[in-house]
Amino acid sequence: MSEKVIGIMGGMGPEAGADLFLQITKATHAKSDMDHLHIIMDSNPKMPSRQDAVLHGTESPVPAMINVAQNLVKAGADVIIIGANTAHYFYDDVAAAVPVPFLHIIDEAVLETQRAVPGIRRLGVMATTAAMQAGVYEKSCEKFGIEVMAVPDDVQNRMQAAIFDHDYGFKYNGRTEQCVSEAKAVAQYLIDNGAGALIMGCTEIPLILGDAVFPIPLVDPNKTIAEAAVRFAKGV
């Protein structure tokens, strides 16, 4: 069976899309250049804000996301990954408009969490405020009887700031000492309140936390979806 071509919808944000591309490359375990998979990425940071659309009802990103997906299909993609967690709020509309399958980063992260902690019932999710308010992880976890822990506003605000704060947030400043400190504080809150595992439910969070170690499993959706993409492309 011939290998499938992987399409990545990137730009949400750009470093997260680049990390996803790198994770697929690492997961391929190739012995030569020709053993690697054919990957096409459309990194379009000009799409309307997914955060603002969810939180404030501003312009929907769906038409722009569909356009990116269609560009990937025209370029030869056999399967598509949306390289952002919050953007999966719009997954159904985008996937329905394109004639190739999508892999679902959130479903794959929840499945990986179950593999890491069989029988888990209480899950900590570190994600944007839009993703948390939209319930994108709850939708997947409901299928498996897993509770996504509620996060108080003050704790959630620290997570949002680690990603978006103009002075120290990752999106505007890269990896700063303060954004790392804020993200670690959120993780510690979830651990202290009974999380059986943590999902880094925004594609910037693994870049913020780096090689941080916690006493419970830490699931990286980018790494998990990359491994799923390799399996799909290779038909294994």
pLDDT, one tens digit per residue, over 114-131 is 999 999 999 999 999 999
Q: Is there a contact between 10 and 44 (Cβ–Cβ < 8 Å)?
A: yes
Cα–Cα separations (whole angstroms), residue 110 to 45, 119, 221: 27, 12, 9
pLDDT at residue 236, as a whole number: 87
Cα–Cα separations (whole angstroms), residue 45 to 2, 13, 41, 64, 196: 32, 7, 12, 10, 34
Q: pLDDT of 43-60, one tens digit each? A: 999 999 999 999 999 999
Backbone angles phi, psi at 76, to 5 degrees: 115, 10
Q: Is there a contact between 106 and 137 (Cβ–Cβ < 8 Å)?
A: yes
Tell me: pLDDT of 193 over 70: yes
Q: Using pLDDT thresholds of 50, 70 and 90, give the confidence band for residue 1.
A: low
Length of the chain: 236
Q: Is there a contact between 50 and 86 (Cβ–Cβ < 8 Å)?
A: yes
d(C-alpha 85, C-alpha 50), whole Å: 10
Contacts of 8 (CB under 8 A, 6+ apart): 17, 20, 21, 24, 39, 40, 41, 42, 43, 72, 80, 81, 83
Q: Using pLDDT thresholds of 50, 70 and 90, give the confidence band for residue 23.
A: very high
Which structure tokens are listed for 152?
Answer: 């108080």
pLDDT at residue 144, as a whole number: 85
pTM, to two decimals? 0.91
